[in-house]
Copies of this chain bind each other. A is one copy, B any other.
Amino acid sequence: MVIKNAFYAQSGGVTAVINASAAGVLETARMHADKIGKVYAGRNGIIGALTEDLIDTSAESADAIRALRHTPSGAFGSCRYKLKSLEDNKREYERLIEVFKAHDIGYFFYNGGGDSADTCLKVSQLSDTLGYPLQAIHVPKTVDNDLPVTDCCPGFGSVAKYIAVSTLEASFDVASMSKTSTKVFVLEVMGRHAGWIAAAGGLASSEDRPIPIVILFPEITFDKQKFLAKVDQYVKEHGYCSVVVSEGVKDADGKFLADQGLRDAFGHAQLGGVAPVVANIIKDGLGLKYHWAVADYLQRAARHIASKTDVEQAYAMGKAAVEYAIAGHNSVMPTIERTSNTPYAWKTGMAKLADVANVEKMMPADFISADGFGITSKCREYLSPLIEGEDYPPYKNGLPDYVRLKNVAVSKKLRDFNI
């Protein structure tokens, strides 16, 4: 078999475990030196391919690659850059082929979410459309958990665990303070379109340790009176209440709740989050003392409390991508197939990229409770295994010993290219 080099890139918002997928790709490729030569990583995603800014991963030690498994963020840099269609942008596709040819690249591994799957699909068609032999495999990654076919998406389980743990801990805190001080705690979480992450906050409450939690899903139109009534009821019953609000919650006019047209004292528009908006609604409507937090990047970067299930799945997706490539596949994505709930079991499957690209998986309606403020037992059954297990990074001087790679550049062979 002819030995070809491979290209690997990270795309879109990074996660606590996207580097675990990178470790899966790189370690598996190294085990198949008879088929895959060097793995070149794109510096800052697909931009690295377009600008011939390639990183020679063979310069990294086995220890460094292994350490990627416990290092959050994108070790090679990521980007937000979506290729247009071949018709609209032939220049970029031709450039990709030029770079791939110059560096003898026959495998294309793209690690990202929905938009990236679309890019990967387009690249996978290059062998047909532009006559360049290339196998393109998508490695799934997104905290939004919105890729179709796969049971879940690497990156989501760790965010879900972070949000569930944080909601549990903050709820214990506000419960302690509620007699004379704070009665409501509001936590803003990611998820502009789907409420998967917000739903994870519901896991903090369980039968043997019930916690009053109100979840505000982007799928449910915000109803101020109903919301205030629910908070009021919980505070009367329990003395306190936690609110987990998705950044994507909208009001009846379809406007983001976060977008309140805030102005500072000089009349300048100010951008705020949705958490302070919800907190102010509680203050005005119920006169209760509150605290609020916005998790933002902390939630998706929190490798220190990553889900072991998630880490293992992220690694497995990277490994399977290489194995699928070696087996001759093109235009596919490894998937996670749930085979059992109790005990939880899963295996690696395969999806055609054509079935993945541009399809968004929303939360099933029966995952949200009838009143719109909680999760159903069906949702709990789905989510619980995904946060199962801890996979602690090693520590040095009190901090996680995350690796920073050398990221040695491959010598350029081509003229510059402007993107």
Residues of A within 8 A of B (CB): 10, 13-14, 16, 44-45, 47, 71-75, 77-81, 161, 164-166, 168-170, 172-181, 185, 187, 203-204, 206, 209, 260-265, 268, 270-273, 275-277, 279-280, 283-284, 291-298, 300-305, 307, 384, 387-390, 392, 395, 397-400, 402, 404
| A398 surroundings in chain B (CB, below 8 A) | 161, 164, 203, 307, 384, 387-389
Checking B81, B164, B179, B277 against A399 with a beta-carbon cut-off of 8 angstroms, the contacting residue is B164
Given known A73-B176, A174-B297, A384-B397, contact A276–B270 (CB-CB < 8 A): yes
Give the shortest distance, in Å, between A78 (CB) and chain B (any CB). 5
How many chain copies does the complex carry? 2
Given contacts A272-B276, A400-B165, contact A304 B307 (CB under 8 A): no
The secondary structure that dominates the A interface is: mixed
In the complex, the chain B residue whose C-beta lies closest to that of A15 is B173
Q: Which of B176, B262, B399 is in CB contact (< 8 Å) with A168?
A: B399
Which of B178, B276, B392 is A273 in contact with, Cβ under 8 Å?
B276
Nearest CB in chain B: distance from A198 CB, A: 16
Given A44-B179, A397-B206, answer yes or no on A14-B173 (Cβ-Cβ < 8 Å): yes
CA distance A204 to B400 in the complex (A): 10
Neighbouring B residues of A302 by C-beta, 8 Å = 166, 169
Contact: A387 with B399, CB < 8 Å? Answer: yes
A47 touches which one: B179, B263, B276, B392 (CB < 8 A)?
Answer: B179
The docked-state distance in angstroms from the alpha carbon of A165 to that of B302 is 9
Give Cα distance in the complex from A264 to B242, angstroms: 24
Task: Sample 17 A-B pairs with CB under 8 A, ordered by A number.
Answer: A14-B177, A77-B179, A79-B179, A80-B177, A164-B398, A168-B400, A170-B296, A170-B301, A260-B270, A262-B270, A272-B276, A291-B296, A293-B294, A293-B298, A295-B298, A388-B398, A390-B395
Evaluate contact between B165 and A304: CB separation under 8 angstroms: yes
Contact B291 A292 (CB under 8 A): no
Docked CA distance A280–B262 (Å): 12
